[in-house]
Structure 1
Amino acid sequence: MVTRLLHRCGLELGPESDLMPPQADNPEGFWEHLRFVALNDELLAALGGAWDLPPKPDESFTGQPLNPLRLKARLLIEGFAPANVWGWKDPRNSLTLPFWQDLLPGLRTLIVVRNPLEVAHSMRERNGTSYSFALRLWEIYNRRLVEVANEKDRLVTCYDAFFENTESELRRILQFAALKDTELRSAAALVSTRRRHTHFTIDD
């Protein structure tokens, strides 16, 4: 959802044909660039892992065996050269961020924190994973991301904030991303609590 709002505000995500298509459980789309997703999958596999099998925390992303993937990544990045502000969404970035930071100095990272119970429920519905496994992955993904993204180049936002004060939270992100706020209200209008798939509170 957040990526969709930023796209409305001018964030370049690449050609629509390169974006993951909507599905029955997410008719508004995932807004993930398929080539970035595929490259992240290749990168994780090269390190002996996968999205659901995170590599070791001290894994090196600078070795020569990853050179072919670095070349593919540079070519992918070059395609966004004409864009003023561009980005991509992929949860796997939480595990591969050091690789991208090396290619994109000063890379800004938006961290969207969602209630882990909501994430676990979604993963159970979509992937059939257990709650305990999904909660463990949530912890690893978020911890790795916070550890790698330095404070100067990261912004942490809470998913719930977009259902409580959409315009205020979106404006904060636009300032961080150097995006204009001319489409702020039209983007905020896209948020609807009725379309929220799952919602857990701190009491749960």
Structure 2
Amino acid sequence: MKTYKGRWRPIFVLGIDRSGTSLLSEVVVNWGAHPGAAEKLAPADAQNPQGYWEYLPMQDFVAALIASVGVSTWEPDFMARVRERAFEPSWRDQALALAAEMERPDRPWLWKEPAIALTLSFWQEIVEDVVFLITLRNPVDSAASFKKFFLPSALREKFEIDGFFFLKWQHYMLSTFGTLASHQRV
């Protein structure tokens, strides 16, 4: 999986919350990919006892990047606006430094974070030759899992969040596949 420049190809694991991204990331890490220094990874908890495999500095960067755009991720021009940030030196330099932290001479590196799907147009201008691994779980099952783990039990019968989750699922999938439409597939 080395690139034409002799470097290991980075791996981005993409998918909506509760769709199996942590499980897939764990498999890829067990195969040898570098997820980042252990102390910089989101800690395991009851929802993901094996860990999330989310690199906290990258999570913070993505959250700041999304906030900097000035419009909701649901706005039609969000993807174009976030892509423009890749050409602004401060954002570009920070992103390149984050990616450089991950580089290893002996193995590929991995990033997993659901919100990467919304910022792919940015990352395509920053990181070359990425391998994208995309999880696809039935949105009904993902919504049920999300509700079970993140909605307090006292509220589960009072609030219906399935409709919102289905829209979010669709938004993330359309963002992912729309941005990667011209990407080489294996």
User: Fold-level match, TM-score > 0.5?
Assistant: yes
Q: 1:13 to 1:154 in 2, by over 3 A?
A: farther
User: For each residue in 1:5-55, what CA deviation from the matched residue of structure 2 results, as whole angstroms up to 9, or x when unmatched?
Assistant: 000001111111111101122211111111111111111111235xxx524
- Mapped partners of 1:68, 1:125: distance in 2: 40
Once structures 1 and 2 are overlaid, which stretch shifts more, 87-96 or 122-131? 122-131
Of 68, 87, 99, which residue of structure 1 is paired with 2:122?
Answer: 99
The alignment status of 1:108 with 2:131, answered yes or no, reads yes
TM-score by length of 1: 0.67
- Mapped partners of 1:40, 1:92: distance in 2: 7
Q: 1:64 to 1:74 in 2, by over 3 A?
A: closer
Contact 1:107 1:153 in 2 (8 A): no
Structure with the larger RCO, 1 or 2 (CA within 8 Å, 6+ apart): 2
Q: How much does 1:121 deviate?
A: 1.9
Alignment of 1:37-186 (within 5 A): 37-48=59-70, 54-59=73-78, 60=81, 61-63=83-85, 67-83=89-105, 84-128=107-151, 130-150=161-181, 152-154=183-185
**Equivalent residue number for residue 57 of structure 2:** 35
Matched residue count: 152
**Equivalent residue number for residue 3 of structure 1:** 25
What code does the residue aligned with 2:38 have? Answer: E
Once structures 1 and 2 are overlaid, which stretch shifts more, 107-116 or 62-71? 62-71
Q: 1:154 to 1:32 in 2, by over 3 A?
A: farther
Q: 1:126 to 1:38 in 2, by over 3 A?
A: farther
Unaligned runs of 5+ in 2: 1-22, 152-159
The alignment status of 1:16 with 2:38, answered yes or no, reads yes
RMSD of aligned residue pairs (Cα, Å): 2.2
Runs of 4+ in 1 over 3 A off after TM superposition: 63-67, 125-129, 150-155
Q: How much does 1:111 deviate?
A: 1.1
Q: How much does 1:72 deviate?
A: 1.5
